[in-house]
Amino acid sequence: MGPVLGDPSRYALGHAGNDVWNHVWGFWFVGASLSAGELPLDTALLNWPDGGSLWFIDAFNALLTLPIQAVWGPTAAYNTAMGLNLWLCGFGAYVLAWQVTRSWGGALVAGLMYMTAPHFVGQAYNGISETLAAGWLPLALAAMRHAARSPSLRSGALAGLLLGLNTVANWYYGLFGLLALAGLGLRELYRLRRRPDAREHFRRMMLAAAPAAAISLAIATPPFLLFSGSMGAEDAVVGRDPDFVWMTLVMHNMTDALALVRPGQFQSPDLKALFDEDLKVVVYVGVTLIGPAIGVLLSDRRRQAASWALLAAAFLLLTLGPYLYVAGEYVRFGDRFIPLPFLALFEYTPVFSRISHAYRFVVGLTLALAVVAAFAVDRLRARGIPVWASVAVLCGLRLAETGFFSPVRLPLPIVDTHTPAVLANLDGGAVLDLPVSVPVLRRSQHFMGQLRHGEPVPYGLNDPTPVALYLNRYSRYLIEIERTGAASLPPEPPALDLAAGQAALVAQGLRWIVVHEDRIPEDRRAVLEAFLDQTATPTYEGDSVRIYRLD
């Protein structure tokens, strides 16, 4: 978090070409909607002139940080959520590992191994705040494990509470919790064979399961229904078409098996080369996590760690996605890709059929291996090595690996969310920010202006050029001038078409055009502004923006 600590209300953690702008906007959207007495379930602020249904994907953290936003603004709230969740990852893994091993040293190692996972560093780089809310998962597992070992209404209620919060914090992690719960249940049923009071203990487990199920469902079901309804609505701002999900899964979010173990800046898939995107898929687990875990499994502690190793193996298979992908290519057997268990789950279960990021299962893999690695400290202590020494060495090596040998290096990049104060004067109509011809995620920087003026904009969160701008002759002509980079304006522009198009935009409610001069090459900007000077009313120039009013 170091790069933003100097001014956390202005600078946000994440790369400028990634999702950081969308997420800061989302924190603001939730806060602004609630302060206006409205639920943040639909908006007229995006996709002008139509708006649409929208569930902000990190609504949970936006709600948690509302007090921060009320005092210091949405950027500070976003940064707080990032830092709080990274800390919670360490704390949650510490609690779980302490419960399993009763070793303070092993718990410290597990906590640090988990919270410094290269995957989390990569997601912070991508600016995807909800994926850092992974600390609820180990807390939920610890509570479920406690409820299974010491079943009661109270332990069951606690397990249900944490499982519900984990699910609402991130739908993926809710699924991970259910998968871990299934494994835990099988393990506890197996252990019942050795108990003389097996029947009574099973009855108490079922008694604890009732409040656990009731509370977790009560917490998670309403927001999940709202989320599903938003995604499935005809006017959804962000949709999940089945074909889009599948194509994203197999052509954009592949999991390279080699990337799990290969250190260094190995990018596979290389989204920059393939799609000119700055997002980074990071699934590197780390030698300093795998090494101690292997050592434990080869020692006399392997029986104690066996169930966690099996859980890690299950998450590993799911992390690899529907087909085996190695060194940048799908592996073939004859003329077919090699299918993996994820494919069957995707085809035959409704939950998996909505998953477009199989690589996120690496979170479950990392957590399970961190618990296994916690046994390493106890094993080293039994061999005469002081706990503090093994903790210092393992944690030091982990920090060095995360900082210098992972696919995403520290320090993390930051973005400046400050916008000119003059944008607050734009009122009475929608705002079109230019340029249009930049990558979609980088173009989301325009949303920061909306935090000032609060007026609708034609852009969506992940969409290409809005259709409404292409259907209008004036805005289409404007976009074509910007994109083509013409050296001069045409000698005879279609004046009547442009006038009619401009009048139609004004009638629909578009009032302002903001040219962000520092985001457009100088030669294109000159022609673009020459056109606007002839067809719109200049009202302001300065602070790297030029503002026009449509009349």
pLDDT tens column, 111-144: 999 999 999 999 999 999 999 999 999 999 999 9
Q: Mean of the pLDDT values across residues 88-115?
A: 97
Q: Does the pLDDT of residue 522 top 90, yes or no?
A: no
Distance CA 372, CA 308 (A): 6
The predicted structure's pLDDT at residue 493: 79
> What does pTM read for this prediction?
0.95
Distance CA 490, CA 126 (A): 41
Residue of 123, 88, 83, 90 lying closest to 109 (CA atoms)? 90
The predicted structure's pLDDT at residue 491: 74
Reported as a single tens digit per residue, the pLDDT across 321-337 is 999 999 999 999 998 99
Which residues, in sequence order, are CB contacts of 335 under 8 Å at separation 6+? none
- Tell which wins on pLDDT, 257 or 238: 257
The predicted structure's pLDDT at residue 242: 87
Q: Mean of the pLDDT values across residues 483-502?
A: 82
Token pair 């809005």: residue: 466
Q: Mean of the pLDDT values across residues 474-480?
A: 91
Reported as a single tens digit per residue, the pLDDT across 363-408 is 999 999 999 999 999 889 888 999 999 999 999 999 999 988 899 9
The predicted structure's pLDDT at residue 507: 95
Reported as a single tens digit per residue, the pLDDT across 148-168 is 999 999 999 999 999 999 999
Q: Does the pLDDT of residue 358 top 90, yes or no?
A: yes
Reported as a single tens digit per residue, the pLDDT across 164-191 is 999 999 999 999 999 999 999 898 888 8
Distance CA 507, CA 501 (A): 10
The predicted structure's pLDDT at residue 329: 95
Burial (CB < 10 A; 0-12, 13-18, 19+), residue 232, is exposed
Q: Does the pLDDT of residue 454 top 80, yes or no?
A: yes
Structure tokens belonging to residue 345: 């789950």
Distance CA 208, CA 144 (A): 10
Averaged pLDDT score across all residues of the chain: 94
Q: Domains of the chain: which residue ranges?
A: 421-549
Query: What percent of the chain shows pLDDT beyond 90?
Result: 82
Residue type, 324: L
Q: Mean of the pLDDT values across residues 396-422?
A: 93
The predicted structure's pLDDT at residue 96: 98
The predicted structure's pLDDT at residue 164: 98
Confidence tier at 318 by pLDDT (50, 70, 90): very high
The predicted structure's pLDDT at residue 129: 97
Whether the CA torsion 36, 46, 413, 270 is positive or negative: it is: positive
The predicted structure's pLDDT at residue 142: 98
Looking only at the bridges linking them, the beta strands covering 42-43 and 52-53 are antiparallel
Confidence tier at 37 by pLDDT (50, 70, 90): very high
Least confident piece of the model among 64-78, 200-214, 476-490? 476-490
Q: Does the pLDDT of residue 518 top 80, yes or no?
A: yes
Residue of 505, 529, 527 lying closest to 516 (CA atoms)? 529
Distance CA 501, CA 499 (A): 5
H or E stretch at 511: strand 510-516
Residues facing residue 326 across a β-bridge: 329
The predicted structure's pLDDT at residue 195: 84
Asked if 125 contacts 162 with a C-beta cutoff of 8 angstroms, the reply is: no
Task: Outline where 457-494 has alpha helix (H).
Answer: 467-471, 473-484
